[in-house]
Structure 1
Amino acid sequence: MDRHVVAGIDGSRPGLAAAEWAAAEAEARGTALRLVHVAPPEPSERPARGTETWRLGAERMVRGAVTEITRRRPGLDVVGEQATGVPAAALAAACGSAGLLVLGTRGLGGFEGLALGSVALELAGRAPCPVVLVPAARSGEEKEPEVVLGIDARRPARAALRFAFETARRRGARLRAVHAWRLPAPYAAPWAPYEVLEEERGAWEDQEVQLLDDALHGWREKYPEVAVLPDVRLFSPAEALVKTSAGAGLVVAGRGGGPGTALGGVPHAVAHHARCPVALVPEA
């Protein structure tokens, strides 16, 4: 089965950052990299000369990206291609047999200040394979190689767990498994009339720690070479992942529902606000 890496490019800074990230990932996986540029359908009233000018410019952009990546990584098999159509639909079709789709967070048409462009947002929910969203600039410094996994210890997502452990193994990185929890309902509301005793809070947290340990047990046995740091946090899941993203190389989250479904609240928030690349992994 072909499990190459696909990167969507459009000449923007986030697109170029995504292409370089995808190249490093393809090299680590020992697979090929496919750079795909999709242009929206041309309006019928546009002069033929304008269409030809666009086509030649797109060819130069794709060829230049292939040349630059090949120069930096001479052992990597890199191909470039162009397509015309609705960008999200065309890229979803292009990654049908791929193992990974990599996108910049915003393209050339994005508004300054928006964290996530419409094409990236749509593909994050509908692509048939895991999607990695790469920002043009990193916020914070990666102190050591670390992959952050968002995990619901009560309902662990197997596909996201597998992706995170495999990525950490390939990179020789530590895996931080982040499980967020809330106080029981009577205590969770800001106006709660009950005071939380420290021993009660500690007992509840111990339960969450044990749940996380149980959820990770089989995966630790399967990947003994991966150093795992369990991290239980009294936050919302999205807030916990965004906070831990500042020093990470990658955040991994399950997106649930399988290919073609809308992006859920937690992965949506993480994709918008995380300060490092984010991998959104669909359940099979």
Structure 2
Amino acid sequence: MRERTAIAVGVDGSWADNGAVDWALHESEVSAAPIRVLHVLDDRPPIGPYFNFPGANAAAKQLIDDVREYLDQHDSAAQHTGAVLSGPPAHTLAGSTAGDRMLVVGRRGRGVFGRLLIGSTAEAVVHESDTAVVVVPPKWKPGDPQAPVVVGVDDLERCEAAVDFAVRFATERGAPIRLVHIWDVPRMFTGDEAAAVNTVDLARHYHNQRVDAIIRQCRGKYPEATFAAELRRGHPVAGLTDATVEADGQLLVVGGRAHGRIMSTLLGGTARGILQHATCPAAIVHQQQPAHSR
């Protein structure tokens, strides 16, 4: 049975150009999920005689109305609602979208969303949100719906939520899934040239075995999906973004709140690198920890 939880989309004054609304609309057309249009008014406004909170609230409501009017212009648009929220931006946005199908934001914007990928707000949203966060590059337009969905994987247990998300997204479109595993050997183990060759060969063999195990597990758990796997040596950001470009991927999915080369650094430089440099929308999907380990 198709899930009907909402697609939440965070908007600001740049919504017509930043791609998030169009991506959410396209996702709604495919999944038949309703859309929730959200704007956050920071409850810590600038102190001074020029800030008018009632005026800002009225402008925010008009912004929501403008986006919903745009959605109404599309015959295939699903049901949609809108809301102006007030509070600390990241915490408010993350908390208000708990239980939603996903939260969609644009890579570039103004105000709260303009800072999303260049400061602490992005890390806070991704860290606090239990919902998948999809970041859309500017002026995104629909492409081939059957283009691959690329997933960065460490092992299935640590990125199961990301693979679940990718499978649902891909199977709704009849698209294949490309699992990409990034590996490398720390420089401290490759200092001696003679020993380095053996070390690299052993590491490559080990990671090949891991990838083989992952794809077997995925094919067993998700028989409805089509999988391919790829092993790449190098840095996670370059490896994942390059793999996505070469595959002409429509979405890059990575997991969070786990361990491993990709996952453990996700809320640091790797996350910012992937989200800033990916040429297609990128989704961060948290792996929930067991209750006893929280």
TM-score by length of 2: 0.80
Q: For residues 99 and 113 of structure 1, what CA distance do their matches in structure 2 show?
A: 24
Distance of 2:229 and 2:281 partners within structure 1: 21
Query: Structure 1 residues 183 and 87 mapped into 2: Cα distance closer, same or farther (>3 Å)?
Result: closer
**5 Å matches for 1:268-279?**
268-279=272-283
Please state whether the residue corresponding to 1:22 is helix, strand or coil. Answer: helix
Distance 1:62 1:94 in 2: 16
Identity of aligned residues (%): 27
Amino acid at match of 1:193: E
For residues 128-175 of structure 1, what are the alpha-carbon distances to aligned partners after superposition, in whole Å with 9 as ceiling and x for unaligned?
A: 211111111459x87961111000148642111111122111121121
1:51 is displaced (CA, Å) by: 3.4
The 10-residue stretch of structure 1 (266-275 or 31-40) with the greater mean CA deviation from structure 2: 266-275
Equivalent in the alignment of 1:281? 285
* DSSP 3-state at the match of 2:170: helix
Of residues 75, 78, 81, the one that matches 1:79 is: 81
> What is the letter of the counterpart of residue 276 of structure 2?
H
Structure 2, gaps ≥5 residues long: 260-264, 289-294
How high is the TM-score relative to the length of structure 1?
0.82
Contact 2:18 2:139 survives alignment (8 Å): no
Q: Structure 1 CA distance, aligned partners of 2:95 and 2:258?
A: 19
CA distance in 1, matches of 2:46, 2:237: 41
Cα distance, 1:111 vs structure 2: 11
| Deviation string, structure 1 residues 36-94 (Cα, Å, up to 9, x no partner) | 0111124565468x434333322222111011112214440111111222211211121
| 210-219 or 37-46, larger mean C-alpha shift | 37-46
Q: Does the aligned pair in 2 maintain the 1:238–1:269 contact within 8 Å?
A: yes
* Rounded Cα–Cα distance in structure 2 between residues aligned with 1:113 and 1:281: 21
Following TM superposition, the consecutive aligned residue runs of length 4 or more in structure 1 with deviations greater than 6 angstroms are 110-114
User: Aligned partners of 2:145, 2:7: CA distance in 1, in Å?
Assistant: 27
Match of 2:249 in 1: 248
Q: Residues 244 and 115 from structure 1, CA distance in 2 versus in 1: closer, same or farther, beyond 3 angstroms?
A: farther
The answer for the alignment partner of 1:231 in structure 2 is 230
Relative distance call for 1:187 and 1:142 in structure 2 (3 A) is farther
Aligned residues: 277
Of 85, 93, 96 in structure 2, the residue corresponding to residue 94 of structure 1 is 96
CA RMSD of aligned residues (A): 3.5
Alignment of 1:29-44 (within 5 A): 29-41=31-43, 42-43=45-46
Structure 1 regions of 5+ residues with no counterpart? none
The alignment partner of 2:172 has SS state of: helix
In 2, the alpha carbon distance for the partners of 1:81 and 1:111 equals 16
Instruction: Tell me, yes or no, if structure 1 residue 205 matches structure 2 residue 204.
Output: yes
- Equivalent position amino acid for 2:21 in 1: A
Deviations 1:191-215 (A, max 9, x none): 5432765x98667534423321211
Query: Does the 8 A contact of 1:7 with 1:102 survive in 2?
Result: yes
1:214 is the counterpart of 2:216: no
